Amino acid sequence: MLNARWIGFAAMIGFAQLYAQDSEQAAPILCQGNYHSEAEAIEQLGRMAATYSNLSEWNDRAAKVRQQILEGAKLVPFPNRTPLNPIVRNKRDFAGYSVESVAFEALPGFLAYGNLYRPLGKPGPHPAVLCPHGHARGPSGGRLRADQQYRCATLARMGAVVFSYDMIGFGESLFHGWDHQHKQALTLQTWTSIRAIDFLQSMPDVDGKRIGVTGCSGGGTQTFLLTAVDDRVTVSVPVVMVSAHFFGGCHCESGMPIHQTRDLETNNAEIAALAAPRPQLLVSVGGDWTKNTPVVEYPYIRNVYSLFGEQAKVGNVHYPGREHGYQYLKRQAMYPFMVKHLKLDPTGVFNAETELYDETQTVIEAPKEMYVFDESHPYPTTALKPNSKVDI
């Protein structure tokens, strides 16, 4: 028979557990920045790898990781796919490609800003490539950066329709008053990427079954998160970001509980593995948190691909002496992978003697030339006020 003291003690334990649960719900587990040491990251990969030994078990785990990302990012259920109401204007023709300025409503009144690079003189239907960007600031930061323009123009000259778009609080989003510290940044950026695929697939000359994505640093985070949650992405090239010990230093990468809950732990190497069996290239360098990729993250991810019998679909190009960023050499690593898997036409761009892709036809534009809105094309009155909470 239970005595009253025991019942009281049990009630206290129950209360403590309940309280702990409430506390955890109130304070989600965030894995931010260098959340792990490199050694702890290797141990974590070992624990995760021990949870599956065949394709069926991996698929079960992958579904749970995908669901955790979406729930952590507050994208369950998905918002309604409301009309994009795209504005596409100011076409500029260059050698082998054109650029237009684009805005669309990712959510009612919440605008995505970008540039659309199209091939000239190549027959369609065209594959499409999304180009998110990282956190480099300055007057020509984000999608306005020269390295971003080289990448987009060169892919377009090889036959891709390329969409390059602002993170919240960068480029034209910043110009119109939005702050990158917006609390919903991770939610809004991920949803904007999903809607950017909708936008590209809405074009009659785009082959909606050939969709690539590539970005570096914070744009690398957007690349592997989008690939993880949207199976319309068919080729993924995250650059200098896939790391088992570094989770991204910005709240738009790791400020919501996508990596760890009481039920499941994961990290960005495993999130990148959710791309399997779709073609994926990891570009890494010795000078940042991707320094261990050839011996830590890549083997873990390749093992997942091996469960599909598709090891050949994943690759790693590593530059031990190089630093963070999406500079010329990293772009030269990405181009052939996109050419191969998106069936681009490198004629006139690839030089067989040097084995390099020519970027010299890119015209680097000034920010104001790339903007969507100006005095004669005023900012829509229906747009949300900057830094509003956005209804999801």
Choose among 199, 173, 189: nearest CA to 132: 189
CB of 180 to Zn ion, least distance (A): 6
Contact status: 250 vs Zn ion (CB under 5 A): yes
Estimate the share of the chain in helix, then strand, then coil, as percent rounded to the nearest 5.
35, 20, 45
Interacting stretch for Zn ion, rule CB under 5 A, among 207-215, 232-240, 250-258, 261-269? Answer: 250-258
Q: Which is nearer to Zn ion, 180 or 313 (CB)?
A: 180
CB of 181 to Zn ion, least distance (A): 9
Interacting stretch for Zn ion, rule CB under 5 A, among 51-59, 252-260, 318-326, 335-343? Answer: 252-260
Q: Which is nearer to Zn ion, 127 or 218 (CB)?
A: 218
Interacting stretch for Zn ion, rule CB under 5 A, among 9-17, 251-259, 272-280, 297-305? Answer: 251-259
Cβ pair 157, 349 in contact under 8 A:
yes
Cβ pair 330, 239 in contact under 8 A:
yes
CB of 142 to Zn ion, least distance (A): 11
Q: Which is nearer to Zn ion, 250 or 334 (CB)?
A: 250
CB of 306 to Zn ion, least distance (A): 33
Q: Which is nearer to Zn ion, 203 or 250 (CB)?
A: 250
CB of 220 to Zn ion, least distance (A): 12
- The rounded distance, in Å, linking the Cα atoms of 266 and 189 is 21
Q: Which is nearer to Zn ion, 255 or 346 (CB)?
A: 255
Interacting stretch for Zn ion, rule CB under 5 A, among 120-128, 155-163, 246-254, 276-284? Answer: 246-254
- The rounded distance, in Å, linking the Cα atoms of 194 and 188 is 10
Q: Which is nearer to Zn ion, 170 or 199 (CB)?
A: 170
CB of 178 to Zn ion, least distance (A): 12
- Give the long-range contacts of residues 16-19, CB within 8 A, separation 24 or more: none
Interacting stretch for Zn ion, rule CB under 5 A, among 95-103, 247-255, 267-275, 304-312? Answer: 247-255
Q: Which is nearer to Zn ion, 128 or 185 (CB)?
A: 185
Contact status: 252 vs Zn ion (CB under 5 A): yes
Phi, psi dihedrals of residue 195, rounded to the nearest 5°: -70, -25
Contact status: 275 vs Zn ion (CB under 5 A): no
Task: Identify residues 79-98 at the interface with Zn ion (CB under 5 A).
Answer: none
Q: How far is CA 321 from the centre of its chain?
A: 25
Task: Give 198's DSSP letter.
Answer: H
Q: Which is nearer to Zn ion, 129 or 252 (CB)?
A: 252
CB of 173 to Zn ion, least distance (A): 12
- Rounded (5°) CA angle 343-345-351: 125
Phi, psi dihedrals of residue 163, rounded to the nearest 5°: -115, 120
Choose among 239, 125, 252: nearest CA to 178: 252
CB of 219 to Zn ion, least distance (A): 10
Contact status: 233 vs Zn ion (CB under 5 A): no
CB of 341 to Zn ion, least distance (A): 28
- The rounded distance, in Å, linking the Cα atoms of 212 and 194 is 12
List of E strands, 222-349: 235-239, 280-285, 314-319
The contact pattern for Zn ion, residues 193-232, with x = CB under 5 A and - = no contact, is: ----------------------------------------
Q: Which is nearer to Zn ion, 41 or 252 (CB)?
A: 252
- The rounded distance, in Å, linking the Cα atoms of 117 and 350 is 19
- Rounded (5°) CA angle 258-181-114: 90
Exposed e or buried b per residue across 34-70, where buried means at least 16 C-beta atoms within 10 angstroms of its C-beta: ebbeeeebbebbeebeeebeebeebeebbeebbebbb
> Under the rule (CB under 5 A), what is the footprint of Zn ion?
250, 252
